[in-house]
Amino acid sequence: MSSTSIDKLNDARGTDPGAIEHGATIKAVYVYEAPVRIWHWINALAITVLCVTGYFIGSPLPTMPGEASDHFLMGYIRFAHFAAGYVMAVGLLGRLYWAFVGNHHARELFTLPVFQKVYWQEVITMLKWYAFLIPQPSRYVGHNPMARLAMFCGFFVFSVFMILTGFAMYGEGLGAGSWADRLFGWVIPLMGQSQDVHTWHHFGMWGMVIFVTLHVYAAIREDIMGRQSIVSTMISGYRTFKK
């Protein structure tokens, strides 16, 4: 078939030849498996619930009018906080399991190649990119080196800290000798006293809020400026690169 005939056929179908040429420049690579994507969104919901309810636990609402027995608002807030804490803790254990049985991208959250010089060179490159000092970043199928460092320190380490301190305080409520007290009770004397644990747990919540804010900003920024998919990748599993 001649090129003229192809153009006529495209016109008849309403196909833009320019769109076909543009589509050929998009490459897709499968990165995140379904368990990783499901965990990501469930964990995001759990963190949202934990931060909102944690704020009100630390700064309670004004006294409700009427008899105290008629209101259970703070009880519901505490229940939602505890339930979301369980979801986050169990989810992190499941995510750790998938790091062993999933593809190599599933392990990036828990490991850092700190002894590789080229890794730190790429971290500096990405810092320049985020600071608008270079026109384009390098392209990575999984997390870029800067994002990998942020996920390990800003999410994984923070999450472990929040889980340990959270269940230590939860053990106080369950009482001495409870499973939470036996497993996590050592955290309280290690950090000083109960109020110290409460304070650091509250600071940790704000640290998580800052991390989530930067994480969302960086993901949307990469979608727009980096010419590679970030948000949609955690939905479909495929990372697309545009020339």
131/133 Cα distance (integer angstroms): 6
Structure tokens at 11: 């016109």
pLDDT of 215 higher than 80:
yes
Is the C-alpha dihedral spanning 188, 149, 202, 73 positive or negative? negative
Beta bridge partners of 228: 241
- What pLDDT, in 10s, does the model give residues 89-108? 999 999 999 999 999 999 99
Q: Strand, helix or coil at 229? A: coil
Nearest to 238 by CA among 142, 157, 156, 99: 142
The CA-atom distances, in angstroms, between 237 and each of 3, 145, 233 are 37, 19, 5
Write out the CATH class of domain 3-242: mainly alpha
Q: What pLDDT sits at residue 56?
A: 93
Helix (H), strand (E) at residue 29: strand 26-30
Per cent of the chain over pLDDT 90 is 64
1 vs 75, higher pLDDT: 75
pLDDT of 3 higher than 80:
no
pTM: 0.83
142 vs 242, higher pLDDT: 142
Q: What pLDDT sits at residue 25?
A: 57
Sorting pLDDT into bands at 50, 70 and 90, what band is 26? low
Q: What pLDDT sits at residue 225?
A: 86
- What pLDDT, in 10s, does the model give residues 130-155? 899 988 887 888 888 999 999 999 99
Q: What pLDDT sits at residue 66?
A: 74
202/55 Cα distance (integer angstroms): 8
Burial of 144 (0-12, 13-18, 19+ CB in 10 A): buried
